[in-house]
Amino acid sequence: MKINTQLFKAGGSIVLVISLLSALYSFSIQDEKKRIVFFGDSITAGYGLSTEQAFPALIQSKLDSSKMDYQVINAGLSGETSAGGLNRIDWILKAKPDIFVLELGGNDGLRGLSLDETEKNLTIMIQKVRTRNPDVILFLSGMQIPPNLGQEYTERFRTLFAKVAKANNTELIPFLLDKVGGEPELNLPDGIHPNVEGHHIVAETVWKNLKKYLD
């Protein structure tokens, strides 16, 4: 099942419009399937590409080819910060995910936001996911940023995800863009977002971490 989202710019702000009734109906008729939610920003959303080319859809293809009865939900939103994710997470948790992959914080770092707030927001989101389903398998995706904001900030950002994962007994994908970040041929011209080939490598990184938890 895919959640159909449209982004509209209205009054200078981005409004996320979700087909709520359609999504809830789809949840209800596929209750027999376990759900994997990818909750993130533009990397998860597949910025600059079609949804089918983004790594969550590639994970769905791997599951289908392996005859695994899982339903991938791509809940990525371009430009999302950890604070924005915290504001919208309750809706997506209506799906009661069996596996939840949290990929947020990258935009916090690029914007130089308070890392204390980022850490707090990630921790609260993890707690919310576990409250919804105590048996959930939860992953936190690590990110890295260029050293534009100084070595101290950059290093603290790099280690933040491992710190949060350890404190909350959460599985860690150390660096989601491993073998992709900083490689021009694997990214769009902006140098930040993976291209089609880059998303295939990201999917392999995620799959390597996920597969040992799949039935």
CB 49 within 8 A of CB 78: no
Q: Is 98 among the catalytic positions?
A: no
Task: Give Dmax (Cα) for the chain.
Answer: 50
Q: Is 200 among the catalytic positions?
A: no
Q: Is 13 among the catalytic positions?
A: no
> Which one of the listed residues 42, 82, 108, 199 is annotated catalytic?
42
> 209, 147, 138: which is closest to 176 by C-alpha?
209
Token readout for 75 is 């809940």
Token readout for 112 is 């130089």
CB 125 within 8 A of CB 92: no
Residue 27 neighbours by CB under 8 Å, 6+ apart: 1, 94, 95
Compute φ and ψ for 42, nearest 5 degrees.
-65, -25
> Which one of the listed residues 13, 28, 65, 190 is annotated catalytic?
190
Compute φ and ψ for 134, nearest 5 degrees.
-60, -20
State how far the Cα of 131 lies from the Cα of 123, in Å rounded to an integer: 12
CB 83 within 8 A of CB 121: yes
> Which one of the listed residues 41, 108, 193, 199 is annotated catalytic?
193
Site of tokens 């949804």:
51
Active site residues: 42, 190, 193
